[in-house]
Structure 1
Amino acid sequence: MTKPLVGLIVGLANSDSIAFGCAQALKAMGAELAITYQSDKAKPFVAPLAKELDAALFMPLDVRQPAELRALFGAIGAQWGRLDFVLHSIAFAPKADLQGRYLDSSAEGFCTAMDISCHSLVRLAKAAEPLMAEGGAILTMSYYGAEKVIANYNLMGPVKAALEASVRYLASELGPANIRVNALSPGPVATRAASGLAHFDALMAEAAARAPLHQQVSIAQIGEAAAFLLSDKSRHITGQVIFVDNGYSALG
């Protein structure tokens, strides 16, 4: 009998989170999940969702705290002895740096955004590697602003570009261990993180109007793509950025 997939979901903040749509799709696929919450303040919003998902583990993880990272992966090792996938769905930049011109962004704000939104993927991959002795899959979330200038995306454009480059380098380094690393690049979705962008409602409306399918993407649709990329059905796909944006990015 085939063992169910076991995996870690990082970045679930509330029921509107992309990570929640992904977790629902993975749960429907039969996966067992470990769910994290960012802080005690966030815990009451995430706890009911973790219960709904029947999470095997529910633990704190501020990716800036090495002790919490060690405790989490120690618990995963004790619970399952292995890890089949990691979903990284985290993005943050200080509001002043996010809403101002990239030209005016502070060094501190840039470093904070890069550390939480990008290098945290590297740290998670490093922690997951020993538990993926038989292979595994790692998935993160990007956005088209990594490739093209998107009005008001500002600081996050270069940060997401670094994230996409990290996906390629991690895929190359972890490939010999049969660990795949990919990114999804969804169209704009009304998440808590996105709410920090100036004029985000206009961005969503413009994307839906211009995309060939003339729709806004949902967290459920993103979740379906994530479940595919974290399953064995995509075992020959790695180092890629896959768009889930109703064709918007195809227009250039």
Structure 2
Amino acid sequence: MKPESLFSLAGKRGVIIGLANAHSIAYGCAVVAHALGAQMVLSCLNDKALQFVAPLAEQLQSPLLVCDVEKEGELERLIQFAADRMGKIDFLIHSVAWAPLTDLHGRVLDSSAQGFLQAMNISCHSFARAARLCEPHLAPGASLMTMSYLGADEAVAHYGLMGPVKAALESLVRYLAVEMGPAGTRVHAISPGPVPTRAASGLQEFDALMEKAKTNAPLKRLVTLPEIGQLAAFLISDAASGMTGQTLYVDGGYHIVN
């Protein structure tokens, strides 16, 4: 199915944080949003990523900024640039997650305080910060989204430290939905099945995780980046105006049988 055959996002303006390359979830969301007519400001982590992402942003006719959410002032600069350029913000897609490999590959029991806090800051609290920075600039009915995973709800082998971090992220989504709902803002977590992204490659036994999902999912396959992007586009659209505070799975049904 071609994205442009779904519905229109013409007139919608948004920020997508976390492009890494053509295989990243953020890019999959950006491609679909662009095809449906949305205007966007994009970000990548650093100058190293910039060389891979700049041509992609050019194809999407979208400005691209470097934004390391750990560095003071960079997230503020990104959101202010978007607000200055577009006037209002209709959507935010937060696709940022990281943990130190030593902590990620070890037992959660043995995780360091510094590693745990760094993973929480980058992968979870940065979404709250981005939402707060966007708040003065949000259009009526705006939609804020972040990316989670099944390991937030279940103890998934080798997911380790990111499980508790993603669980906190999903809880954060519910609290933001309550706090921002009176102004008409909607907040969601999208929980894709395993997809071969650069970030996921840091997980141990990730190939086995993908194979298990492919074998056991009712649809007997992995989901694609366009399918993740299509769910994000639906949540941006006015068709989802009555929904907020949810974790929505796009995983071929794997979460119901795992």
Question: What is the CA deviation profile of residues 76-98 of structure 1, one whole-angstrom value per residue up to 9, with x for unaligned ones?
Answer: 22211110000000110000111
Distance 2:227 2:75 in 1: 29
In structure 1, what is the equivalent of residue 56 of structure 2?
A: 49
Equivalences for residues 117-136 of structure 1 within 5 A:
117-136=123-142
Count of aligned positions: 250
Q: 2:86 aligns with which of 80, 84, 92?
A: 80
Match of 1:5 among 12, 15, 19: 12
User: Which runs of no fewer than 5 residues in structure 2 stay unpaired?
Assistant: 1-8
Contact 2:16 2:40 in 1 (8 A): yes
Q: Distance in 2 between matches of 1:211 and 1:103?
A: 30
CA contact (8 A) 2:151 2:159 kept: yes
TM-score (norm 2): 0.94
Q: 1:94 aligned to 2:128?
A: no
Q: Give the aligned partner of residue 172 of structure 1.
A: 178
User: How many angstroms apart in 2 are the aligned matches of 1:9 and 1:202?
Assistant: 30
How does 1:159-238 map onto structure 2 within 5 Å?
Answer: 159-238=165-244
CA distance in 2, matches of 1:3, 1:118: 30
How far apart are the structure 1 equivalents of 2:65 and 2:222? 32
What amino acid is aligned across from residue 11 of structure 1 in structure 2? G
C-alpha contact 2:90 2:139 (8 A) present in aligned 1: no
Residue type of the alignment partner of 2:114: E
Letter in 2 for 1:122: A
**Identity over aligned residues, as a percent?**
52
Q: Is contact 2:92-2:144 (8 Å) kept?
A: yes
Could you list the structure 1 runs, at least 4 aligned residues long, displaced by more than 2 angstroms after superposition: none
| 1:99 shift after superposition | 0.7
Which whole-Å deviations, capped at 9, do the CAs of 1:120-140 have from their partners, x for residues lacking one?
Answer: 000000001000152311001
TM-score by length of 1: 0.97
Question: Structure 1 residue 224: deviation in Å?
Answer: 0.7
- Whether 1:63 and 2:69 are equivalent positions in the alignment is yes
Task: Compute the displacement of 1:66 (Å).
Answer: 3.1
What's the secondary structure of 1:91's corresponding residue? Answer: coil
Deviations 1:93-152 (A, max 9, x none): 000111111111111110010000000000000001000152311001000000011100
Give the aligned partner of residue 139 of structure 1: 145
2:20 alignment partner, SS class:
coil
CA positional deviation for 1:3 = 6.0
Which range moved further: 223-232 or 62-71? Answer: 62-71
Select between 196-205 and 66-75 the one with higher mean Cα deviation. Answer: 66-75
The correspondence for 1:29, drawn from 27, 36, 51, is: 36
- Residue in structure 1 matched with residue 3 of structure 2 by the alignment: none
For 2:76 and 2:226, the matched residues in 1 are separated by 31
CA RMSD, Structure 1 to Structure 2 (Å): 1.1
Distance of 2:82 and 2:229 partners within structure 1: 23
Give the unaligned 5+ runs of structure 1.
none
